[in-house]
Amino acid sequence: MSAAPLLAVDGISKSFRGLRAVSQASLTVPQGGIVSLIGPNGAGKTTCFNMIAGVFRPDEGGITFDGRRIDGLRPDQICHAGIGRTFQIVKPFKDLTALENVIVGALRAEKDVRLARRKSEAVLDQLGMLDKRNQPAAQLTLPERKRLEVARALATEPKLLLLDEVMAGLRPTETDQMVAVFRDLNRKHGMTILLIEHVMRAVMALSQQVVVLHYGQVIAGGAPEDVVRDPAVLECYLGEEVEA
């Protein structure tokens, strides 16, 4: 018998003022796996993330994380349960340094400020940003702010990391650097990752499984090399001009 997935999303739906943003979507993320959620703009991907992270409660369906139902919990409760997330539009505390931004996240699990500082420095070092620790967040470049967003999420010590388009706007070399960071987190540290991403270069390099959402419904899922050949996926998404 195979082990239960770390995250199981079972038939969740969400409507806003009569508009069905997500319709009976299901997906699973195995412990230690990397799964990508892809699809056209407006497909409902971030709405799915927001339901997993507790921003929205599903109108129907359920979400189980680490053997526990979490749909209906508040975002802070879901963070405490072990889910960390980034946001599509990065908004660090601009007047704080990079290190202070990460310490804010670290204080979720560590109440001793000195220990939180050490853990935050270790996270920044892991992401190649230790030399930027005393720089105000407002002065960081876009790739650096993206890494800082990941660092803040990692500082909460998650079991599952939700990444919302963290490679959007990056150059190919910068994308490859981020891919290397996430691959290292997964292989060396066992981090389970669910990511929303349009950059197919990153999706193909990272993903063990890919789930495709279109008009709020899951239309395909499986190994990356199979999904990118699926006629329905080619028609609705990959036939468009997407970043490679």
CB 211 within 8 A of CB 234: no
Band (pLDDT 50/70/90 cuts) for residue 80 is: very high
What kind of architecture, by CATH, is found in domain 1-82+158-244? 3-Layer(aba) Sandwich (3.40)
Return the amino acid letter for 154: L
pLDDT at 168 over 90: no
Place of tokens 């691959």: 183
| pTM across the whole model | 0.91
Q: What is the pLDDT of residue 1?
A: 44
User: Would you call 230 helix, strand, or coil by DSSP?
Assistant: coil
* Cα–Cα distance measured from residue 202 to residue 178, given in angstroms and rounded to the nearest whole number: 9
Q: What is the dihedral of CA 125, 90, 66, 79, to 10 degrees?
A: 90
Rounded mean pLDDT of 26-54? 96
Q: Give the dihedral sign, CA 221/204/186/79.
A: negative
Residue 242: per-residue pLDDT = 42
Domain extent listing, the chain: 1-82+158-244, 93-157
pLDDT of 32 above 80: yes
Helices and strands, number each (H, E), in the chain: 9, 10
Name the residue among 148, 15, 175, 20 with its Cα closest to residue 87: 148
